[in-house]
Amino acid sequence: MPIARVALPVATARAFDYWIPQGIVVGKGSVVRAQLGGRTLVGVVVDVVDESEVDRTRLLPLRDVLPATLPEDVLDVAAFVASYYQEPAGMALALAVPPLGKAAPRPAPVPVKLTAEGHAALPPRLARAPAARALFDALCAQDGTASVEFIAALAPARRTLLRQWRAAGWLAPAQPTIAPAGERHVLNDAQRAAVAAIAAAGDAFATFLLFGITGSGKTDVYLAAADGALARGRQVLLLVPEINLTPQLVARLRDARPGLAVATLHSGLPDGERHAQWQAAATGAAQLVLGTRLAVFTPLPALGLVVIDEEHDASYKQQDNVRYHARDVAIWRARRRGVPVVLGSATPSLESWWHAREGRYRRLDLPSRADPRATLPRVVLTGNRAARDLDGVGEPLRAAIAARLARGEQALVFVNRRGFSPSLVCAACKWEAQCPRCAARLTTHRDPPRLRCHHCGHVERVPAACPSCGNVDLLPLGFGTQRLERALAQAFPEARIARVDRDSTRARHAFAHVRARVAARALDLLVGTQMLAKGHDFPRLTLVGVLGADNALYSADFRATERLAALLMQVAGRAGRAGLPGEVIVQTDFPEHPVFRALVAHDYPVLADALLDERRAGELPPFAHVALLAAEAHRRDEVDAFLAAAHEAGVALAAEAGAEVTVFSPVPALLSRRAGYERAQIVVQSARRAALQRFLPSWRDALTALPGRRVRWAIDVDPAGFG
């Protein structure tokens, strides 16, 4: 009687045995459903054996087998993730299982376009149908067309609407867009050298760091390198950090390589669609697979090249559940498959920068902008304090915006905070609006006026008077996107302004809509958070203003400066991409800080080297390997007791293992209380990765055995910060 050994997504390292009913064929890698403790779970068969240690009569049968099989190398990748990140095998494998919802994969949709009748007939009918109105607006924002990607991303109800409109003659099949002539660039020398170096790696593992300033044409290098792999009949995996970036990149790929079979994978796709895309990758039908971090687990039978765009981006690190880093997993997978991997960035992570300096990665430089008409923007630093009485927007920035508006150019003002103001204080007694569930201030919001916690989602009304002393003079302190938007609307009443942040883009396609309006020159001014920083190419955008950058300098997180540098260079990269010269105005009270000096000089290497020196002195990554034990409970004494015991166990184990690992004392988390949980942590560190990796499993076993059932804890290997 054959037995299937199944890894299930539960918090245990062991697999579970089931007997295989007649008529069901499974092997290693089969995705199956099985019952565990009254629940039906989806799992992966890791082995098929003849005997189980569990008594025959107590074994359950497999429920059924699903139409998906994970190949050997994906099983290996998941096993690596489980062991490296200290996670249960079944949880790591679950990342690789495609969404097998009930929806069967649908046939690919056909692109459609609004007809003249549609343009005339629809608007009067949409007054009381906000969902239909939003869909119509989204279409208008894209020249009236709905691309295949656009349709694929729609909710079923919206897709039904499209079908009805088509039946009414308001939509008609659209001509596929023909790639405009000249879209395929003649690569410049630096690009050609990079492509040649990658091609020379052929079918062997090698890691390249493509260090190219913003606008240097990294995408064309990826494409040319991909051409090489495709010509050998291989598949290419291209990882990008943001869902928001995928439709644009897909459109660009389609333009540049019209015949290419592209599959896209990200968590924003409906399940049926994602499964269809996954299948295309797994069967080898898709030549290029483009996706966010979860795409690193996609089966790719003919993988020949891995590309990671914006490799420094923090969103490659998953922050909950299985805390893996997709860039590092992708490199591991490329090594396992013996294929080259290209990491691209204008501001490489200090880890990658150091590997390149040490010669482990090969650095390829694109030192200038690809478009010969484009020059680097002029960066100007101006004081922050003087701007306080002007709702945060200082005089130099105001004047620069006015000049842009007068010339019919566009400007972007960036502030790293949504809402109206990050705090509300009483002018009389210094009372401050605090979240009742977090050790954090509440942010004031307008439209509707509310106090909101950005950590736990808590919402309350804005008090009419100070709850502590009754004074009615409550002051919003600091500046968020809503306040900036209001200030700019008052200063420039004629300007067409849009705000882009998580609040304003909650509706599907809202962001795409804004982008289309910028491209169509239907907007003059953009105000937004870092959502605006990445990958958008607006030819008439010639001014970028940055407010609130100094906040990051006060952060206790060891990666804060590196992040700020990346963000500033990205935002600055938005200015002046085509023929028009760009300008960047940064409001700061620390113009001598190395971050701002590097920005002015457009010199990331000098900054990266300086930051690496600091990391070396502080024994921080990449010079030390770090893991974090984060714990939380409703009661502070429970967390403290758990971490004291965890610390003691860790110190003992580290001593046994030859003292190569340092276990630091428990400290409160940067956010010491969140959503009613008291939070604290222990940092463990070692100069050698292998020593840390040997220490962690035994420590984890010790932690599992500790009392403290009400304490939630997790180990985070290579944490994004010491949050």
Binding site for ligand ADP (CB under 6 A): 185-188, 191, 212, 214-220, 370-371, 537
Closest CA to 293 of 311, 273, 313, 316: 316
Answer yes or no: are the C-beta atoms of 443 and 434 closer than 8 Å.
no
Work out whether strand 16-19 and strand 60-61 pair parallel, antiparallel, or are unpaired.
parallel
Alpha-carbon distance of 598 to 613, in angstroms, equals 16
- Shortest distance (Å) from residue 76 CB to Zn ion: 41
Question: Binder to Zn ion among 437, 521, 636, 689 (CB under 5 A)?
Answer: 437
Alpha-carbon distance of 422 to 477, in angstroms, equals 6
Task: Output 158 or 515, the one with its CB closest to ligand ADP.
Answer: 515
Task: Output 183 or 613, the one with its CB closest to ligand ADP.
Answer: 183
426 touches, from ligand ADP, Zn ion, none (C-beta below 5 to 8 Å by class): Zn ion
- Shortest distance (Å) from residue 23 CB to ligand ADP: 52
Work out whether 431 is an interface residue with Zn ion (CB under 5 A). yes
Work out whether 442 is an interface residue with Zn ion (CB under 5 A). no
Work out whether strand 712-717 and strand 171-173 pair parallel, antiparallel, or are unpaired.
unpaired
Task: Output 255 or 271, the one with its CB closest to ligand ADP.
Answer: 255
Alpha-carbon distance of 487 to 485, in angstroms, equals 6
216 touches, from ligand ADP, Zn ion, none (C-beta below 5 to 8 Å by class): ligand ADP
- Shortest distance (Å) from residue 217 CB to ligand ADP: 3
- Shortest distance (Å) from residue 234 CB to ligand ADP: 22
Helix (H) or strand (E) holding 1: none
- Sequence length of the chain is 723
469 touches, from Zn ion, ligand ADP, none (C-beta below 5 to 8 Å by class): Zn ion
Answer yes or no: are the C-beta atoms of 240 and 249 closer than 8 Å.
yes
Alpha-carbon distance of 252 to 230, in angstroms, equals 18
215 touches, from ligand ADP, Zn ion, none (C-beta below 5 to 8 Å by class): ligand ADP
Task: Output 188 or 672, the one with its CB closest to ligand ADP.
Answer: 188
- Shortest distance (Å) from residue 226 CB to ligand ADP: 13
188 touches, from Zn ion, ligand ADP, none (C-beta below 5 to 8 Å by class): ligand ADP
Alpha-carbon distance of 337 to 344, in angstroms, equals 20
Q: DSSP letter string over 276-299?
A: HHHHHHHHT--SEEEESGGGGG--
Question: Binder to Zn ion among 31, 224, 425, 426 (CB under 5 A)?
Answer: 426
Closest CA to 250 of 285, 219, 210: 219
* Residue with the shortest CB distance to ligand ADP: 217
Task: Output 371 or 550, the one with its CB closest to ligand ADP.
Answer: 371
Task: Output 255 or 432, the one with its CB closest to ligand ADP.
Answer: 255
Phi, psi dihedrals of residue 487, rounded to the nearest 5°: -60, -45
Residues 453-492, one symbol each (x = binds Zn ion by CB under 5 A, - = not), give x-xx-x-------x-xx-x---------------------
Burial zone of 537 (CB within 10 Å; 0-12 exposed, 13-18 middle, 19+ buried): middle
218 touches, from Zn ion, ligand ADP, none (C-beta below 5 to 8 Å by class): ligand ADP
219 touches, from ligand ADP, Zn ion, none (C-beta below 5 to 8 Å by class): ligand ADP
Taking CB under 5 A as the criterion, which residues in 377-416 touch Zn ion?
Answer: none
- Shortest distance (Å) from residue 72 CB to Zn ion: 45
Alpha-carbon distance of 54 to 56, in angstroms, equals 6
Task: Output 365 or 432, the one with its CB closest to ligand ADP.
Answer: 365
- Shortest distance (Å) from residue 13 CB to ligand ADP: 42
How many residues sit close enough to Zn ion to count as binding (CB under 5 A)?
15
Task: Output 373 or 388, the one with its CB closest to ligand ADP.
Answer: 373
Task: Output 295 or 466, the one with its CB closest to Zn ion.
Answer: 466
- Shortest distance (Å) from residue 187 CB to ligand ADP: 5
40 touches, from ligand ADP, Zn ion, none (C-beta below 5 to 8 Å by class): none
Alpha-carbon distance of 206 to 360, in angstroms, equals 9
Q: In sequence order, which residues have a C-beta less than 8 Å from that of residue 532 and are 6 or more positions away?
A: 412, 414, 500, 526, 571, 574
Alpha-carbon distance of 329 to 311, in angstroms, equals 12
- Shortest distance (Å) from residue 186 CB to ligand ADP: 6
Task: Output 194 or 424, the one with its CB closest to Zn ion.
Answer: 424
Closest CA to 324 of 12, 719, 631, 680: 719
Query: CA dihedral defined by 284, 289, 295, 300, rounded to 10 degrees?
Result: 20
Q: b or e along 267-294 (b: 16 or more beta carbons within 10 Å of the residue's beta carbon)?
A: eebbebbbbbbbbbbbebebbbbbbbbb
In 250-352, the DSSP E strands lie at 262-265, 288-291, 303-308, 340-345
- Shortest distance (Å) from residue 313 CB to ligand ADP: 13
- Shortest distance (Å) from residue 597 CB to Zn ion: 37
Work out whether 425 is an interface residue with Zn ion (CB under 5 A). no
Q: Hey, what are 655's tokens? A: 């001593």
Work out whether 433 is an interface residue with Zn ion (CB under 5 A). no
191 touches, from ligand ADP, Zn ion, none (C-beta below 5 to 8 Å by class): ligand ADP
DSSP assignment, residue 602? Answer: T
Task: Output 535 or 650, the one with its CB closest to ligand ADP.
Answer: 535
CB-hemisphere CA count at 13 Å for 559?
18
Alpha-carbon distance of 578 to 539, in angstroms, equals 5
Q: In sequence order, which residues have a C-beta less than 8 Å from that of residue 355 and are 6 or more positions away?
A: 207, 209, 361, 622
- Shortest distance (Å) from residue 453 CB to Zn ion: 3
Burial zone of 702 (CB within 10 Å; 0-12 exposed, 13-18 middle, 19+ buried): middle
Task: Output 68 or 370, the one with its CB closest to ligand ADP.
Answer: 370
Alpha-carbon distance of 178 to 643, in angstroms, equals 61
- Shortest distance (Å) from residue 603 CB to ligand ADP: 17
283 touches, from ligand ADP, Zn ion, none (C-beta below 5 to 8 Å by class): none
456 touches, from ligand ADP, Zn ion, none (C-beta below 5 to 8 Å by class): Zn ion
Task: Output 152 or 253, the one with its CB closest to ligand ADP.
Answer: 253
Task: Output 220 or 583, the one with its CB closest to ligand ADP.
Answer: 220
- Shortest distance (Å) from residue 101 CB to ligand ADP: 35
Distances (CA, A) of 498 to 216, 393, 394, 489, 513: 28, 16, 20, 10, 11
Task: Output 20 or 456, the one with its CB closest to Zn ion.
Answer: 456
429 touches, from Zn ion, ligand ADP, none (C-beta below 5 to 8 Å by class): Zn ion
Using only the alpha carbons of the chain, give its radius of gyration: 27
- Shortest distance (Å) from residue 291 CB to ligand ADP: 18
Task: Output 373 or 502, the one with its CB closest to Zn ion.
Answer: 502
DSSP assignment, residue 434? Answer: B
The residue whose two tokens read 């463990």 is: 684
Alpha-carbon distance of 634 to 331, in angstroms, equals 39
- Shortest distance (Å) from residue 456 CB to Zn ion: 3
Binding site for Zn ion (CB under 5 A): 426, 428-429, 431, 435, 437-438, 453, 455-456, 458, 466, 468-469, 471
